[in-house]
């Protein structure tokens, strides 16, 4: 979850550059001590709900979610991801270090190198004071991963930060991260506002944003995107094993593909969906999904691979099976009536 409004401002340019997002977070981190933030605990009809009983808020950014819960989430996630025994990590948007501490607690000595990319110097100050192990911290003012060696990273994590990056910069990050990720290595983005999952957290944040625009009020910037937009972006960039959740995604670096003109994809896009990262981490299960939805205009992938002569046979067989099923149902219903 992102921070609450730092200060109210007239709406200017709604699309911010990463450096401008950094100004919001710098202001937030500097004003933090005076705010007495309580832990964010969800959303209700009257807005963001904070938990006054939680004692977990000690450093700037702790208020975005319970550290112990995050550590447990990462423990299960790391088991599920099948990461190498020793690994190099890149975290995008580490802020005050809540997620960094949680991940390092889980990975411990397995981490050979831990890179952080962030835009807000004031937040990263907290991170420096909080994590004793060596971190490679890179403060950037635009999307930039050029300081990281090619094919060197085994895991990219972005926790509660991706929603502060505009859609075009999300694409630029995903495009450029392919160079630094090892082939097959995962990127985990957790904490996105994805429309298309029928989720109250996202929808109510979206409504709040509309209200802010109408009242000419600007808070910390959140980007809203959709499951469909992310699946298309990731697929077009050659990522594979795409699993979407209602608040983020996991995908692995595949083959590098060009970024020039891309043809339409008559067979559409395929991915896997599970409602939450926690559920997926627990059992690894997700359902196969396709965009646009499959139907008469777009047969399943298997069907489309069949020669057209066999496609006719397959559809006749399906029609026969449907007729047979309906006839059995009718006979069973008739027998019940007697
Ligand atoms: C809500 S905080 C999350 C911090 C931390 N990951 C956590 O979960 O507590 C978002 C962080 O993302 C950073 N950020 C925003 N836009 C960014 C960008 N374009 N590139 C890198 N970091 C960015 C902010 O400066 C901030 O530190």
Q: Evaluate whether residue 156 is within a structural domain.
A: yes
What is the count of structural domains for the chain? Answer: 2
Closest C-alpha to ligand 1, atom 15: 164
| Euclidean distance between CA atoms 323 and 60, whole angstroms | 64
Of ligand 1's atoms, which has the minimum distance to the CA of residue 159? 6
pLDDT score at 13:
45
What pLDDT shows up at residue 78? 98
Question: What residues contact residue 256 under an 8 Å CB cut-off, 6+ apart?
Answer: 178, 179, 238
User: What would the pLDDT profile of 217-248 be if each residue is shown by its tens digit?
Assistant: 766 668 899 999 999 999 999 999 999 999 99
Q: Residues 241, 316: one domain?
A: no
Tell me, letter by letter, the H, E, C secondary structure of the chain: CCCCCCCCECCCCCCCCHHHHHHHHHHHHHHHHHHCCCEEEEEECCEEEEECCCCCCCCCCHHHCCHHHHHHHHHHHHHHHCCCCCEEEEEECCCCCHHHHHHHHHHHHHEEEEEEEECCHHHHHHHHHHCCCCCEEEECCCCCCCCCCCCCECEEEEECCHHHCCHHHHHHHHHHHHHHECCCCEEEEECCEEECCCCHHHHHHHHHHHHHHHCCCECCCCCEEEHHHHHHHHHHCCCEEEEEECCEEEEECCCCCCCCCCCCCCCCEEEEECCCHHHHHHHCCCEEEEECCCECCECCHHHHHCCHHHHHHHHHHHHHHHHHHHHHHHHHHHHHHC
pLDDT of residue 12: 45
Distance 211 CA to ligand 1 centre (A): 24
CA 169 to centroid of ligand 1, rounded, Å? 13
What is the rounded average pLDDT of the residues 55-69?
A: 81
Beta bridge partners of 288: 272
Shared domain for 153 and 182, answered yes or no, is: yes
Instruction: Give whichever of 18-22, 214-218, 328-332 has the largest mean pLDDT.
Output: 328-332
Q: What gap in Å lies between CA 1 and CA 205, rounded to an integer? A: 10
63 and 40 Cβ atoms separated by less than 8 Å: yes
242 and 316 share one domain:
no
How far is the C-alpha of 181 from the C-alpha of 162, rounded, in Å?
18
Is residue 86 scored above 80 in pLDDT?
A: yes
pLDDT band at 7 (very low <50, low <70, confident <90, very high): very low
Domain-embedded: residue 1: no
Residue 14 has pLDDT above 50, yes or no: yes
* Number of neighbouring beta carbons within 10 Å of residue 77: 23
pLDDT of 290: 95
Q: Tell me: do 35 and 127 sit in the same domain.
A: yes
Tokens representing residue 279 in the block:
């559920």
Residue for token pair 């009020």: 217
Atom of ligand 1 nearest to the CA of 142: 19
Residue with CA nearest ligand 1 atom 18:
18
User: Is the residue at 324 inside a domain?
Assistant: yes
pLDDT digit string (tens) for 157-169? 999 999 989 899 9
Is 38 inside a domain boundary?
A: yes
Question: Strands 136-139, 224-226: parallel, antiparallel or unpaired by DSSP?
Answer: unpaired
**Residue 5: which pLDDT band, with cuts at 50, 70 and 90?**
very low
CB distance 248 to 190 below 8 Å: yes
Residues 201 and 318 in one domain: no
Q: Is the pLDDT score of 336 beyond 80?
A: no
Say how many Å lie between the CA of residue 152 and the centre of ligand 1: 22
In a domain, 51, yes or no: yes
Q: Range of 83's domain?
A: 18-291
- pLDDT, tens digit, 9 for 90 and up, residues 246-267: 999 999 999 988 878 898 988 8
Give 159 Cα–ligand 1 centroid separation in angstroms. 8
Two structure tokens written together for 121: 């110097």
Residue 4 inside a domain? The answer is no
Residue 2 lies in a domain: no
Residues 108 and 141 in one domain: yes
- pLDDT tens digits for range 25-41: 777 778 777 777 887 87
pLDDT at residue 46 tops 90: no
Statement to judge: residues 175 and 324 lie in one domain:
no
Question: Does residue 180 sit in the same domain as residue 322?
Answer: no
Q: Could you tell me the pTM of the whole model? A: 0.82
Cα dist. 73→210, 247, 279 in Å? 32, 14, 10
Residue 193 CA, ligand 1 centroid: distance in Å: 14
pLDDT band for 152, please (50, 70, 90 cuts): very high
For residues 245 and 143, state if they share a domain: yes
Query: How far apart (Å, rounded) are the C-alpha atoms in residues 189 and 147?
Result: 21
pLDDT value for 88: 98
- b (16+ CB within 10 A) / e for 174-205: bbebbbbbbeebbbbbbbbbbbbbebeebebb
CATH number of the domain where residue 190 is located: 3.40.50.150
Q: Look at the chain and count its residues.
A: 338
- Say whether both 310 and 287 belong to one domain: no
CA dist 256 to 172, 229, 249, 311, Å? 14, 20, 19, 33
- For residue 122, the model assigns a pLDDT of 84
Ligand 1, atom 21, lies closest to the CA of: 118
Do 243 and 109 belong to one domain?
Answer: yes
Pocket of ligand 1 (CB under 6 A): 2, 18, 21-22, 25, 61, 64, 92-95, 98-99, 117-120, 123, 159-161, 164-165, 169
290-310 pLDDT tens trace: 999 887 776 665 555 555 556
Among protein residues, the one with the nearest Cα to ligand 1's atom 20 is 118
In a domain, 12, yes or no: no
**What value does the mean pLDDT of the chain take?**
86
325/214 same-domain check: no
């Amino acid at each position: 979850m992102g921070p609450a409004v730092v200060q109210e401002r007239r709406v200017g340019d709604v699309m911010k550059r990463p450096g401008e997002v950094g100004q919001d977070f710098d202001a937030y981190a500097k004003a933090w001590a005076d705010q007495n933030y309580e832990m964010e605990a969800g959303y209700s009809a009257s807005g963001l709900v904070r938990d006054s009983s939680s004692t977990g808020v000690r450093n700037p950014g702790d208020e975005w979610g319970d550290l112990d819960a995050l550590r447990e989430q990462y423990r299960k996630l790391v088991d599920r991801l099948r990461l190498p025994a020793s690994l190099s990590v890149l975290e995008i948007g580490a802020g005050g270090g809540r997620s960094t501490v949680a991940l390092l607690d889980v990975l411990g000595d397995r981490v050979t190198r831990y890179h952080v990319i962030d835009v807000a110097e004031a937040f990263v100050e907290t991170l420096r004071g909080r994590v004793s192990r060596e971190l490679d911290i890179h403060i950037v003012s635009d999307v930039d991963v050029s300081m990281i060696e090619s094919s060197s990273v085994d895991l990219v994590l972005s926790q509660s930060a991706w929603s502060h990056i505009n859609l075009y910069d999300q694409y630029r990050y995903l495009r450029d991260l392919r160079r630094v990720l090892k082939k097959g290595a995962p990127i985990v983005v957790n904490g996105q506002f994805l429309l298309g999952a029928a989720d109250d957290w996202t929808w109510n944040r979206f409504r709040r944003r509309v209200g802010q625009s109408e009242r000419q009020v600007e808070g910390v910037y959140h980007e809203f995107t959709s499951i469909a937009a992310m699946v298309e972006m990731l697929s077009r960039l050659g990522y594979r094993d795409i699993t979407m959740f209602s608040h983020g995604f996991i995908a692995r670096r595949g083959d590098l593909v060009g970024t020039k003109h891309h043809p339409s994809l008559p067979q559409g896009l395929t991915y896997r969906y599970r409602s939450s990262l926690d559920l997926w981490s627990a059992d690894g299960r997700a359902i196969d999904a396709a965009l646009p939805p499959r139907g008469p205009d777009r047969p399943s992938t298997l069907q489309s691979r069949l020669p057209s002569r066999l496609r006719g046979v397959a559809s006749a067989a399906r029609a026969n099976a449907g007729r047979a099923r309906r006839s059995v149902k009718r006979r069973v219903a008739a027998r019940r009536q007697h």
